[in-house]
Amino acid sequence: MNFLSEDVPDPTDFPPQAIAPGLRTLDGSFRCDICGELYDGPVTIACGHCFCSACIRNCLLNKQECPTCRKSANEVHIRPNPVLEDVISAWKEARPFVLGLTKRETERVGEKEASRKRKRSSENPSSSSSIPGNTPGPSNRDISSPTRTLKAKSPSKVVKKPRTKREGNAEVNVISSSESEEDSKPQALKFAPRAEDLVECPLCTKKIVYRELNGHMDNKCKNDSAAKSWSLLLGGSKNGQQKGKHKKKESNSDDEYPLPLTTYNTLKDRQLKDMLVEQELPITGNRSNWEQRHRQWIVLYNSNLDKSKPNRKTKADLRKDLKRWETENAKKKKTVIADVKAYQKEQKMEFAKLVEAARPKKAGEDASVTIDTSSPLPLPTSSSTAPGDATEITSEDE
Amino acid sequence: MALPKMKLHPQLRSCDQLTIGCSKETERLVADPAPGISALPHDDNLRYFDVIIEGPGGSPFQNGKFKLELFLPEEYPMAPPKVRFLTKIYHPNIDKLGRICLDILKDKWSPALQIRTVLLSVQALLSAPNPDDPLATDVAKHYKENEADAQRVSQEWTQKYAV
């Protein structure tokens, strides 16, 4: 039971309702129903329920209904929930602090019950010594220790802060986020566009600097990524391979657009490969690997877009995530090896090592035999775990 | 924990992450148990739980302590946990091997469900047998033809096997 003592953050870290009213529920309601973690890129779907973007996107690939209420749901209903995202990041900061407070409070209450008279004297040293500026209430703006206490102190302020910052950013330099579209619309109405103002292209509705608008339209909105994704959807671009290199320059402009879901059945191997190359993904493995890889990439990529800008990962990080996902996934499915002999040859050293390791343990039993039987499996790891799992499952199915 | 395996094969490490995901739920399960239900994971396999469900009051299974096993497959929470009665039980939706006929364990599974909710559903199934969707056909027939007598048998079995 050691693992239970490991620190797994969880609503039960907070005392039950009777002692700390609402705190446990509060922490619970900041968590995704699917993964049980604090929301990571929270999104809302049509029924109003909230999930981590990646969680719900993965779910909807299997079944198009809300996991909580079973109302029908679809990818297109997914909307980011930036307010909740701010709440979560504030809660992440405040949580340890609140935990500390409740812990002290429960200790204090215990002490109080032990001796009521000592209550006052024990309260003062505990609050002033451990955490600076700990006096409850909103009137601690002038406490000298800067942002850190402020943030930890009052979540409500933190919620407001990043928001205003982001709105400011959007007006100044964000080019094509959905937020800036709304923000700059009134501007466009008020003023006649100047050369450096952003205007909406009447053809592709993308934000373009006014001075470049004519060139952009003459170019038939070529730079537009929506058009690109459509061409992808309609069978992939023939010159995808060449595009791969230009891509790096353009990548800034299409960062903001979610990738469309694709029906892989209609694609030829070549087209699928091109799509992977276009996203700068590896083209190792077979076709089903490609499909899974591309599908998961879309999930990761799109869910990353559902986060507010400062919280987004870079493409490189996303690729790492994809790789990790793939290795994990590969383990779940027992890999079938076509050429057993070649594989055995390849892994001979590995097996020998295992035999060496196993010998001292089971001196009586001939370890080499057990290793031999497990050899067709790709990794010794899976061979040693797979039978265990399998027997459990079969024993249940009997 | 299967530590020796991990030492040999670093690739197992990512399984660690999965078990951490499970243990988050487990911790909550243990720290905040539902009434009449207990679930404890095995030390050597965190995906495998020993479960005890108390027969709900007012049902023929009252006062019974039913042992179950619960296994979380690798795909959990995308796939439902596997649950099976280990204690013999006379119930139209539970067959003699202990398999349970419950929609949320099959096609109606949702990733928002948890071990706790699943076990609560199983407990609810004990209070509300559904002979119209039977798994043990003979028991279901008995329940349909003579419910009082069938309940008597259920009670007998409870006293005999589930104490």
pLDDT band at A177 (very low <50, low <70, confident <90, very high): very low
B84: which chain A residues are within 8 Å (Cβ-Cβ)?
396
Model pLDDT, residue B23: 61
Query: How close A77 comes to chain B (CA, Å)?
Result: 18
Query: How close A8 comes to chain B (CA, Å)?
Result: 6
User: Phi first, then psi: what are they for B117, rounded to 5°?
Assistant: -65, -35
CB B36, CB B61: distance < 8 Å: no
Q: What does pLDDT average to over chain A?
A: 69
The sheet with strand B65-71 has its strands ordered as B37-41, B48-54, B65-71, B82-85
pLDDT tens, position by position, B50-67? 999 999 999 999 999 999
**Tokens in use for B18?**
């999965």
- Average pLDDT rounded to a whole number, residues A5-15: 73
Name which of B15, B32, B112 is nearest A68 (Cβ-Cβ): B112
| B8·A354 Cβ contact <8 A | yes
Q: What does pLDDT average to over chain B?
A: 82
pLDDT tens, position by position, A339-391? 778 888 888 888 888 888 878 766 655 444 444 444 444 444 433 443 334 33
Catalytic residues of B: 101
- Neighbour count for residue A41 (Cβ, 10 Å): 28
Query: How close B67 comes to chain A (CA, Å)?
Result: 14
- Average pLDDT rounded to a whole number, residues B24-44: 78
Q: Is the dihedral of CA B8, B11, B15, B16 positive or negative?
A: positive
Does B119 score more than 90 pLDDT?
yes
Residue with tokens 């349970």: B100
| A392·B12 Cβ contact <8 A | no
- Neighbour count for residue A42 (Cβ, 10 Å): 25
- Average pLDDT rounded to a whole number, residues B130-143: 91
**Total residue length of chain A:** 398
Residue B103 burial class via C-beta count within 10 angstroms: exposed 0-12, middle 13-18, buried 19 and up: exposed
Of the candidates B45, B43, B112, B99, which has an alpha carbon nearest to the alpha carbon of residue B72? B45
pLDDT band at A121 (very low <50, low <70, confident <90, very high): low
pLDDT tens, position by position, A41-75? 999 999 999 999 999 999 998 889 999 999 999 88
- Neighbour count for residue B161 (Cβ, 10 Å): 15
B11: which chain A residues are within 8 Å (Cβ-Cβ)?
327, 331, 379, 381
- Neighbour count for residue B130 (Cβ, 10 Å): 15
The ipTM estimated for the assembled molecules is 0.74
CA A247/CA A124 separation, integer angstroms:
62
CA A169/CA A308 separation, integer angstroms:
12
Model pLDDT, residue A44: 94
| A67·B112 Cβ contact <8 A | yes
Residue A4 burial class via C-beta count within 10 angstroms: exposed 0-12, middle 13-18, buried 19 and up: middle
CA A356/CA A351 separation, integer angstroms:
9
pLDDT tens, position by position, A288-315? 888 889 989 999 999 999 888 888 888 8
What residue type is A189 in one-letter code?
L
pTM: 0.58
DSSP string, A224-244: -HHHHHHHHHTT--TTHHHHH
A396: which chain B residues are within 8 Å (Cβ-Cβ)?
69, 71, 82, 84, 99
Report helix, strand and coil shares of chain A as percent, to nearest 5: 60, 5, 35
Higher per-residue pLDDT: A88 or A246: A88
pLDDT tens, position by position, A21-41? 888 889 989 999 898 889 999
| A6·B78 Cβ contact <8 A | no
| A381·B27 Cβ contact <8 A | no
A68: which chain B residues are within 8 Å (Cβ-Cβ)?
110, 112
pLDDT tens, position by position, A217-234? 776 666 545 555 555 555
